[in-house]
């Protein structure tokens, strides 16, 4: 279904959801699209209880059959060269969403988003943040009102232990990409 499409796939530091995001990246690659991976500084360099940075990078590069873009300089050509049909940010942390909403481009992922959006092409955000229903709620709401920015449906991931935490439904990624490529928002947004 994505034959011939070039999908940028950016990953930020919601380490507990990285494995699931990379699984979806692999699923996309099997659907015949070219994937250009972008990783945040933290994904590129931070070892956590969820895995080693080098292992994540190795797997990403194996799936995509290319080197992950890890610096602002690496991602800057995305805009002028119009490299992508769509850019997915999965997982997208609250920190990254706040920076996007405020126009801050000090990471590879935020620069990739800015560079891509200048071409009027879709940016698809899959949130994963512990403060989505508190400090970052205003940023999410603001991003939802910006042309060419779409969201993978999301909801509370543990309403009793973490009532402000939200996570995108990874199973909704591919249908959300299909809609975003047609400049439509997948509904329902909240699950």
**How does the average pLDDT of the chain come out, rounded?**
97
pLDDT at res. 3? 85
DSSP H or E run through 4: none
Span 35-54, average pLDDT: 97
**What digits encode the pLDDT tens for the residues 159-183?**
999 999 999 999 999 999 999 999 9
| Residue 1's pLDDT band (cuts 50, 70, 90) | confident
Please state the pTM of the whole predicted model.
0.97
SS (H, E, C) 58-83: HHHHHHHCCCCECCHHHHHHHCCCCC
For the chain, list the domains and their CATH numbers. 6-181 (3.40.50.1950)
Nearest to 33 by CA among 174, 186, 147, 164: 174
Q: What is the rounded distance in angstroms from the CA atom of residue 154 to the CA atom of residue 152?
A: 6
**The pLDDT value given to residue 2:** 85
What per-residue confidence (pLDDT) applies to 40?
98
């Amino acid at each position: 279904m994505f034959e011939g499409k070039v999908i940028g796939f950016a990953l930020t530091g919601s380490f507990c959801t990285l494995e699931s995001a990379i699984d979806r990246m692999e699923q996309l690659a099997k659907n015949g699209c070219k994937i250009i991976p972008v990783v945040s500084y933290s994904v590129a360099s931070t070892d956590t209880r969820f895995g080693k940075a080098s292992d994540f990078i190795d797997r990403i590069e194996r799936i995509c059959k290319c080197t992950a873009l890890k610096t602002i300089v690496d991602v800057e050509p995305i805009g002028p060269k119009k490299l992508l049909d769509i850019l997915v940010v999965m997982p997208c942390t609250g920190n990254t969403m706040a920076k996007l909403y405020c126009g801050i481009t000090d990471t590879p992922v935020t620069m990739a988003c800015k560079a891509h959006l200048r071409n009027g092409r879709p940016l698809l955000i899959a949130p994963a943040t512990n403060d989505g229903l508190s400090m970052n709620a205003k940023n999410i709401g603001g991003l939802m009102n910006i042309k060419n920015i779409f969201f993978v449906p999301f909801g509370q991931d543990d309403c009793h232990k973490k009532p402000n935490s939200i996570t995108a439904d990874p199973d909704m990624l591919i249908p959300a990409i299909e809609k975003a490529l047609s400049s439509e928002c997948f509904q329902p947004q909240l699950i």
